[in-house]
């Protein structure tokens, strides 16, 4: 079966959707995301991206890759390398065998990326499915790209072995068996309850609804008067991770809302359609927060981080109630 590229909102869920379709199980990107219980929130001040605290709206890298194995009876092989040459040779062998191979890379070192999207983020997933017979360049399916892209071996090697936070270490992954369509009435409620548990019950105060409130507290501590540039960088990083890093907008809330719509159809339960609409409304609130932040960064509005922290607390309250209702519905 010839590989078919498909554009997606998020790299990891998009890669898995394309890989599963190639191996005979057509699942949408929202379904791969929701079935893996990937939705979350985390404020991680100890992890720095471009020198600023990491804010994440989903579970950690590889969570989707690994989380789909059990519900789909899927056996995935994961390989990392200390030696870049060995990593390149292994990729070449897999492609010669006809395998479609997932890879973790650094956005910054992928030359086809637009300049405004290239920054030091080391958890971007792409698929390799062949090589150009003339140039030897790799044929890549990057979920954020509209069409198939190519990448020279030296550039791909640099992207696969970038240093820093979330270093890829040359990660390759691929299935070694065919995925199976699951019993939806069993796997969907289980996946939904897991997401609700992550958002509501994680004991760490930097995860889930508590993490949103912890971020609001961090906004309150920003010194907009004496250090306006630093304050703008901090709040700008939050919005960038929410809207620009392949989240589908609203910090993955819109993608998860689509998953709930599919769940309603598969289970014949209209309540999940109602919850999907509620989550779209929450996603819109995240978008309003992003817009207010952008206006402050561009000096269209006064720089008042406390106004943004108030909005974050409102969102936290709404998400707390939403995930309680979602858990009851599942």
Per-residue pLDDT of the chain (330 residues; tens, 9 = 90+): 789 999 999 999 999 999 999 999 999 999 999 999 999 999 999 988 778 898 999 999 999 999 999 999 999 999 999 999 999 999 999 999 999 999 999 999 999 998 877 777 899 999 999 999 999 999 999 998 999 999 999 999 999 999 988 899 999 999 999 999 999 999 999 999 999 999 999 999 999 999 999 999 999 999 888 899 999 999 998 988 888 776 788 899 999 999 999 999 999 999 999 999 999 999 999 999 999 999 999 999 999 999 999 999 999 999 999 999 999 999
pLDDT for 225: 85
CATH no. for 11-175? 3.90.70.10
Per domain, the residue ranges of the chain are 11-175, 184-329
Return d(Cα 152, Cα 145) in angstroms, integer.
17
pLDDT for 211: 97
Return d(Cα 312, Cα 330) in angstroms, integer.
27
Return d(Cα 221, Cα 216) in angstroms, integer.
9
Q: What is the 3-state secondary structure (H, E, C) of 88-151?
A: HHHHHHHHHCCCCEEEEECHHHCCCCCHHHCCCCCCEEEEEEEECCCCCCEEEECCCCCCCEEE
Q: Name the pTM for this structure.
A: 0.94
């Amino acid at each position: 079966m010839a590989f078919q590229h498909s554009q997606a909102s998020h790299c990891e869920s998009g890669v898995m959707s394309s890989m599963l379709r190639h191996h005979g199980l057509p699942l949408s990107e929202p379904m791969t995301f929701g079935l893996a219980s990937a939705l979350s929130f985390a404020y991680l001040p100890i992890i720095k991206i471009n020198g600023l605290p990491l804010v994440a709206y989903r579970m950690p890298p590889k969570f989707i890759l690994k989380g789909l194995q059990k519900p789909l009876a899927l056996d995935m092989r994961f390989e990392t390398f200390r030696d870049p040459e060995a990593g390149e040779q292994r990729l070449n062998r897999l492609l010669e065998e006809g395998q479609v191979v997932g890879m973790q890379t650094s956005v910054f070192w992928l030359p086809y990326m637009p300049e405004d999207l290239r920054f030091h983020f080391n958890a971007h997933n792409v698929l390799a499915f062949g090589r150009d017979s003339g140039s030897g360049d790799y044929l890549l399916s990057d979920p954020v790209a509209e069409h198939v892209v190519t990448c020279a071996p030296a550039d791909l090697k640099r992207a696969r072995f970038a240093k820093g936070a979330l270093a890829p270490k040359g990660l390759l992954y691929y299935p070694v068996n065919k995925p199976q369509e699951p019993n939806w009435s069993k796997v969907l409620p289980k996946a939904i309850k897991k997401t609700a548990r992550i958002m509501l019950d994680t004991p760490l105060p930097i995860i889930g609804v508590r993490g949103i409130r912890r971020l609001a507290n961090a906004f309150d501590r920003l010194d907009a008067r004496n250090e306006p540039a630093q304050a703008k960088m901090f709040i700008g990083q939050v919005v960038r991770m929410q809207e620009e890093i392949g989240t589908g907008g609203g910090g993955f809330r819109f993608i998860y809302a689509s998953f709930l719509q599919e769940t309603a159809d598969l289970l014949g339960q209209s309540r999940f359609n109602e919850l999907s609409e509620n989550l779209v409304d929450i996603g819109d609130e995240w978008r309003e927060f992003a817009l207010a932040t952008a206006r402050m960064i561009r000096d269209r509005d006064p720089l008042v981080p406390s106004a943004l922290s108030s909005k974050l607390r409102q969102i936290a309250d709404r998400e707390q109630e939403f995930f309680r209702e979602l858990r009851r519905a599942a």
